[in-house]
Amino acid sequence: MNLVVDVGNTLIKMAVFQGGGLMSKVSAPVQEFQQLFFDLLSKYTIKHCLVSSVGRLNEENRDLLNEHLNCLFLDHTTLVPFKNRYATPQTLGVDRIALVSASVAQFPDSNVLIIDAGTCITYDFINENNEYLGGAISPGLQMRYKSMHNQTASLPLLEMEEPQSFFGDSTNSSMHVGVVLGIVNEIDGFVKEYQTNYKDLTVILTGGDSKILCKRLKSGIFANSNFLLEGLNNILEYNTSE
């Protein structure tokens, strides 16, 4: 069995896979890493592990993983199942590497656009020749609310609400329209642009805000909340298969 560990800025996600099948998934604040880890070790016979550390995993926890499992720490030098044509591969986020790896496993020899709606919204494209070409990065939903509040003197800091119309009749509702529908129109615009240039395009939507956005977006987009974890497991399988 495999263990994949996705360390974010505040949360840590851990998932156990048997081959390509997801057996268990847990998440908690980073401070609870050791408790989660030993809970999973007590329930499953795990041999290999891959760690994707967007946030920080301290040396003590890294040593703990190495002590109990055959561990691989994902970075730009890790072997991946696609050709990386990014101009600066050393700057490519490990989360984006994992998403592209998942697309290769699940949609081989296809033109695929992966949209990850998290803290930032990332767009990643891999073509039918198994070449990763890059994409785009833009502010995520919460980042847009916070930036309007922080960069102005009078706009409030709002929690996300779904707009009831395409125009706002108050400051608050105008902000909700600007943020939520702004992102929806951005995503739809990117998808249309890729569809114009690449035939038979598959579009995947994932990330923490995907559930909020998917019902607003046009049809033809696959939503998969586990796509990143599946990609991490694909990379681990690729590096440990004999």
Residue 129 DSSP SS3: coil
Long-range contacts of the stretch 38-45 (C-beta < 8 A, 24+): 40/3, 40/14, 40/16, 41/68, 44/1, 44/3, 44/16, 45/1
In angstroms, rounded to a whole number, what is the distance separating the alpha carbons of residues 93 and 202?
A: 22
Quick check: 176 and 163 in contact, CB under 8 A?
A: yes
Instruction: List all residues 6 or more positions away from 128 whose beta carbon is below 8 Å from its beta carbon.
Output: 109, 110, 111, 200
Q: What is the DSSP string of 170-197?
A: SHHHHHHIIIIIHHHHHHHHHHHHHHHH
The residue annotated as part of the active site, out of 63, 75, 95, 124, is: 95
Quick check: 34 and 43 in contact, CB under 8 A?
A: no
Per the annotation, the verdict on 95 as an active-site residue is yes
In angstroms, rounded to a whole number, what is the distance separating the alpha carbons of residues 81 and 105?
A: 8
DSSP class of 218: P
Instruction: List all residues 6 or more positions away from 212 whose beta carbon is below 8 Å from its beta carbon.
Output: 117, 141, 160, 162, 180
Give the active site residues: 95
